[in-house]
Amino acid sequence: MIRHRVVNALRTAALVAVVVLAGSASVVSSAHADAPGLVPTPPMGFNDWNAYGCNVNATLIEDEANYIHSSGMQRDGYKYVNIDDCWLAPQRSATGALAPDPAKFPQGISAVARYVHHLGLKLGIYEDAGTETCAGYPGSFGHEVQDARTFASWGVDYVKYDQCNIPFSDFPGMTHAEVDTQLYTTMSRALKATGRPIVFSMCNGTDSTVYPWLWGARVSNLWRTTTDIRDNFASTVTNFMGTVGLWPYAHAGAFNDPDMLEIGNGGQTLTEYRSQFSLWSEMAAPLIAGTNLTTLSAADRAIYENRRVIAVDQDPLARQGRPIAYQDGTWVLSKPLQGGDHAVALFNSTSTPRVITTTAHAVGASPAPSYRLENLWGGAVTRSGGVISAFVPAEGTVMYRVTSLSAGDPAAARPATVLSLHPSAATITPGGSLAARLTLSDDGRVALHGATVTVTAPAGWSPQTTTLRLPRLAAGRSLSRRLAFTVTPTATGPLTTLRLHAGLRTRWGSSVRLRALGGASAAVTVSSPLTSPLQAENTTGAPARTGQLGSDLAITSAGTGITPLVSSSRGTFPASDAYAAIADPGAVTPTSTASVTVTAQTGSALRPDGTAGLIERDSLSAPGTPEGVSLSVSTGGTVTLAWASKGGTAVDRSVNAPTTVTLPVTLRLQRDGSTYNAAYSTDGGATWTAVATATVAASASSGDQDVGVFHASGVAGWRTTADFTDLTLS
Ligand code: GAL
């Protein structure tokens, strides 16, 4: 279900983005019924759902509140401490009132509210417009007035109102949007009637027919625009794309909500987490931390506490940044700020570093002889003649605060420069070489003199240090140089990512001193080639990489994988057939045994969708031919045997081993005609645990078959890596 929602959200988002880029969307201005002064800027705070799911309780809420208070996050602006689903007792009380689960909230919600208020913070709670919450607790349908009064009497300051289990059939002839408008208006009025200022947050963006942004500002302070966020970069991009085009609908007191922040949950890189924080701030989105703050690493906390970026989100103009340009997975956004500055985000959603360029004119800055660019992550301040550009890492975002400067010495500040490296991802053979191109642009108002660029390469590369002395570079010009490296593959493993770093020192204007002006780094993936008869296969539609070093194999790929069949209230969705593999064609006879050890897989139990293992089918190179049998381990540690029992093109059966494993795990498939016995071992093959026996259609297992190792990230556009060793056949 989630995958289908993601695809739909992407489609809608792409459409909306195109419409808005074309400038044809109309601005909706409406006065919403709630107190507009409550959240003149987007709410900031914490919500337990992403990190704790249904395991909410009073202690954890108070611990998180206490952390916000004592860590300094409160001074950064974090204020709302929000309780999500599952806080409720399963039944209403005799008087029909909502009651908290006595085990989770033994002193009641008002005691938690008192604690939170005592710290100077605000308390939020979760309810649902239907008969039950998404997790099956009593919903507010038909009880809106009573529930709103209960919340007010407890001291609740913020209500997140969900959209599960709405009895749409009770509203014949009405669309979901009409029913939602009615039910959310009822709760909005009920909250207002209590006389207590309560922020109203609509959580009905997962229903793609409700369009809450069209009417949300009249009844609420914020409304969800997308499906639930998850702790992976593809999900961040999906929710960003579902929201970026909706800028005309946001204004002070009424905001688009692309869901909570995942920073700290462990599933993404710091670069990816910084992108979420940048994009959410650029979109004037709520900054609600969906993580256990008390265990945050210093690096994750520094993201939540970047005051320069928070100031963009909390800017008093309360305008949502709008997309200025989109090309090939790169985005330029601009958000007007009070006082005339603009916050510009250069977002690279692709998996390779890109130079992203725009101009002061395009972002809406008032024309000036020069512009001050403040890098909101690095902090550097530079002077530009009008070009706004950066070499943006894969999945990264560079943010600048842009100020038009009317006068002053153009050489007084560092000129804006962009240094970029473009190494091609390559399959390196022993002693092979890699060509790279280094480009330096001077976007400032003064020339660079005596620039030196030093490029350093990691161990195993030659040369390790290259120093380039560059001629004078006039303002507004750029120059390129070619670099060549040779690589010793044994220093790298089957598939590794290595970094090249380039540092720039230069003088400018009349300055006599050499100054370091930042640098650039680029990741190069080095794949050692597969040796015959092994060959690469990929059915994901996204680029994949494979590598081999002796008996070690590695695959980096995206793809939704082979299993499971997804069943939900919305129906059963067929298994996909999207993975990358290293295949040994025709190697499996009707009576042979294959095994491989999966040694590592990127990901964690927090993002359990990736999978790696063994696969046998008639043809690994031809999707559309009968699916065969796969035995794999997920990033969550579940070993699964999946097979096509009827000879179809996708699996229709799967069995999980009863206990989860930690890597390394050896997987073994013993074939006897159409029957396959699956087992795994976590002690290097000394003892085996049976998983199940699969029988595939005779038509799909008649003769010799292909065997291979395969990997899929579990998400269509998100690439992860699996490592294997000792693929053997007997
Ligand atoms: C979802 C909602 C999530 C969380 C969950 C609780 O509908 O989008 O943010 O509140 O329900 O069951």
What integer pLDDT is reported at residue 571 of this predicted model? 46
Q: Under a CB-based contact definition with an 8 Å cutoff, are residues 628 and 699 in contact? A: no
What integer pLDDT is reported at residue 100 of this predicted model? 98
- Nearest Cα residue to atom 9 of ligand 1: 228
Please give the C-alpha separations between residue 718 and each of 328, 544, 545, 702, in angstroms, as whole numbers.
16, 11, 13, 35
Lowest mean pLDDT among 73-82, 287-296, 624-633: 624-633
- Nearest Cα residue to atom 1 of ligand 1: 134
Mean pLDDT confidence for 5-28: 37
What integer pLDDT is reported at residue 491 of this predicted model? 61
Residue 179 C-alpha to ligand 1 middle, in angstroms? Answer: 19
What integer pLDDT is reported at residue 7 of this predicted model? 33
The pLDDT of residue 289 is above 50: yes
What integer pLDDT is reported at residue 556 of this predicted model? 92
Q: Which one is predicted more confidently, 92 or 698?
A: 92
Per-residue confidence band for 496, with pLDDT thresholds at 50, 70 and 90: confident
Residue 203 C-alpha to ligand 1 middle, in angstroms? Answer: 8
What integer pLDDT is reported at residue 73 of this predicted model? 98
512 burial (CB, 10 Å; 0-12 / 13-18 / 19+) is: exposed
Q: Under a CB-based contact definition with an 8 Å cutoff, are residues 183 and 166 in contact? A: yes
Cβ of residue 135 lying under 6 Å from some atom of ligand 1: yes
* 312 vs 342: CA distance, rounded Å: 9
Cβ of residue 49 lying under 6 Å from some atom of ligand 1: yes
Q: Which one is predicted more confidently, 184 or 207?
A: 184
DSSP label of 359: E
- Nearest Cα residue to atom 3 of ligand 1: 228
Q: Measured from the CA of 163, which atom of ligand 1 is nearest?
A: 7
Q: Which one is predicted more confidently, 77 or 17?
A: 77
Cβ of residue 134 lying under 6 Å from some atom of ligand 1: yes
* 628 vs 581: CA distance, rounded Å: 14
Per-residue confidence band for 79, with pLDDT thresholds at 50, 70 and 90: very high
* 425 vs 353: CA distance, rounded Å: 11
Mean pLDDT confidence for 306-327: 97
- Nearest Cα residue to atom 11 of ligand 1: 134
Per-residue confidence band for 485, with pLDDT thresholds at 50, 70 and 90: confident
Mean pLDDT confidence for 509-535: 79
469 burial (CB, 10 Å; 0-12 / 13-18 / 19+) is: exposed
The pLDDT of residue 11 is above 60: no
The pLDDT of residue 532 is above 50: yes
Kind of pairing, strands 397-405 and 370-375?
Answer: antiparallel
Q: Under a CB-based contact definition with an 8 Å cutoff, are residues 404 and 368 in contact? A: yes
Mean pLDDT confidence for 414-433: 79
Residue 162 C-alpha to ligand 1 middle, in angstroms? Answer: 7
Mean pLDDT confidence for 95-115: 98
* 372 vs 356: CA distance, rounded Å: 18
Catalytic residues: 162, 228
Residue 124 C-alpha to ligand 1 middle, in angstroms? Answer: 14
* Percent of the chain whose predicted confidence (pLDDT) is above 70: 89
* 413 vs 444: CA distance, rounded Å: 9
* 314 vs 304: CA distance, rounded Å: 13
SS (H, E, C) 222-268: EEECCCCCCCCHHHHHHHHHHHHCCHHHCECCEEEECCCECCCCCCC
Mean pLDDT confidence for 380-398: 94
Cβ of residue 85 lying under 6 Å from some atom of ligand 1: yes
Q: What angle do CA 191, 192, 198 make, to 5 degrees?
A: 65
* Ligand 1 pocket, mutate which of 48, 52, 134, 570 (most atoms under 8 A from CB): 134
342 burial (CB, 10 Å; 0-12 / 13-18 / 19+) is: buried
Cβ of residue 217 lying under 6 Å from some atom of ligand 1: no
Q: Under a CB-based contact definition with an 8 Å cutoff, are residues 337 and 315 in contact? A: yes
- Nearest Cα residue to atom 2 of ligand 1: 228
Q: Measured from the CA of 160, which atom of ligand 1 is nearest?
A: 10
Q: Under a CB-based contact definition with an 8 Å cutoff, are residues 121 and 112 in contact? A: no
* Ligand 1 pocket, mutate which of 84, 161, 291 (most atoms under 8 A from CB): 84
Mean pLDDT confidence for 404-420: 85
pLDDT tens-digit profile of 641-696? 999 998 888 888 899 999 999 999 999 999 999 999 999 999 999 999 999 999 99
Per-residue confidence band for 13, with pLDDT thresholds at 50, 70 and 90: very low
Residue 302's contacts (CB-CB under 8 Å, 6 or more residues apart) are none
Mean model confidence pLDDT for the chain = 89
Residue 257 C-alpha to ligand 1 middle, in angstroms? Answer: 13
What integer pLDDT is reported at residue 426 of this predicted model? 65
Per-residue confidence band for 623, with pLDDT thresholds at 50, 70 and 90: low
- Nearest Cα residue to atom 6 of ligand 1: 85
User: Count of CB atoms within 10 A of residue 340's CB?
Assistant: 12
* 467 vs 118: CA distance, rounded Å: 60
Cβ of residue 203 lying under 6 Å from some atom of ligand 1: yes
Mean pLDDT confidence for 443-451: 92
Mean pLDDT confidence for 213-218: 96
What integer pLDDT is reported at residue 430 of this predicted model? 64
Cβ of residue 84 lying under 6 Å from some atom of ligand 1: yes
Residue 501 C-alpha to ligand 1 middle, in angstroms? Answer: 43
* Ligand 1 pocket, mutate which of 47, 127, 162 (most atoms under 8 A from CB): 162
* Phi, psi dihedral angles at 412 (to 5 degrees): -65, -30
Top mean pLDDT of 43-47, 348-352, 428-432, 700-704 is at: 43-47
Residue 36 C-alpha to ligand 1 middle, in angstroms? Answer: 25
Residue 376 C-alpha to ligand 1 middle, in angstroms? Answer: 32
Per-residue confidence band for 540, with pLDDT thresholds at 50, 70 and 90: confident
* 201 vs 254: CA distance, rounded Å: 9
Q: Measured from the CA of 164, which atom of ligand 1 is nearest?
A: 7
Q: Measured from the CA of 224, which atom of ligand 1 is nearest?
A: 8
* Percent of the chain whose predicted confidence (pLDDT) is above 90: 71
What integer pLDDT is reported at residue 562 of this predicted model? 85
- pTM beyond 0.95: the answer is no
Structure tokens at 664: 């390394």
